[in-house]
Amino acid sequence: MVDDSGIPKDGKASACVARQYSGTLGKVANCQIAVTVHAATDTASAVLNWRLAGYGQVAEFRQGLTERGIAYIVATTSSTTAQPGDAQPVQVPYAGVGPHPTPRYPHPARSLKHLALTHGADATTLVRWRARLPTPDRDPDQPAGELSGHFFALRVRPAGRAVRRGPHRGDDGVLPECWLLVQWPPGQDEPSDYWLSDLPADTPLAELVRLAKSRWRIEHDYRELNTALGLDHFEGRSWTGWHRHVTLTPT
């Protein structure tokens, strides 16, 4: 599994530091984004490798996974732009000079939040993705219950400059299609979480939710690494120093 953790920084001299969105911080901030590959189950996870990079909201990251033949479901931001799945580009009139223009979509790409709001909260389905883990203070004879939430999934075509200029756009101007998974808690004015996935078009909603929510094990370990072992306390600037720190911290 692949996950990310934001490491806030004060200056600009550290490796790969920039003003960027961090899911850990819940906002755009001056930080590094540590992207990690894990071996994980519902009971434990182990870090296999670390890099400083972008995550789900970065088109180049998703394209890199596709180029390596790695199917993904990654969290992203509500401001990520996309065309609806059924949108089709149209031919642009030829001006008579230079090469013929590539077909373009007739309407601007919309944010994922806009597409989700247009679809509406009434389209959500209650999905249960796993049993709650037992806690020390719980009566063992009492059922632990299940984790559940309200979701829907749409087919969309992520847009943006990197996607439009990327290798996976067709000669006919068609952008690659993928899943947009949305979680929308009942009674809320807008969704709380968004994911993009290139899993097959016939993937059931329950499977999309299960895979998206399987990050919880890694996020739990991240909290322990940050609060108990000082993963996000590194004050050096070099990539070598950072990599040594993140390698030794979980060890």
For residue 148, list its beta bridge partners: 128
CA angle 174, 180, 184 (to 5 degrees): 150
Q: Would you state the structure tokens that stand for residue 212, as one six-digit string?
A: 């998206």
User: DSSP H helical segments within 41-200, as ranges?
Assistant: 59-67, 112-119, 161-164
Model pLDDT, residue 123:
95
Backbone dihedral region for residue 68 (phi beyond 0: left; psi -120 to 50: alpha; all else: beta) = alpha
- Which residue has 């601007």 as its token pair? 108
Model pLDDT, residue 59:
84
Model pLDDT, residue 172:
64
pLDDT tens-digit profile, the chain (251 residues): 888 888 888 888 888 888 887 777 777 888 888 888 888 877 778 888 888 877 778 888 888 888 888 888 988 989 999 999 999 888 888 877 877 777 888 899 999 999 999 999 999 999 998 877 666 565 555 556 788 999 999 999 998 777 766 666 666 677 889 999 999 999 999 999 999 999 999 999 999 999 899 888 888 888 888 888 888 787 778 888 888 888 888 88
The pTM score is: 0.81
Contact 169, 176 (CB under 8 A): yes
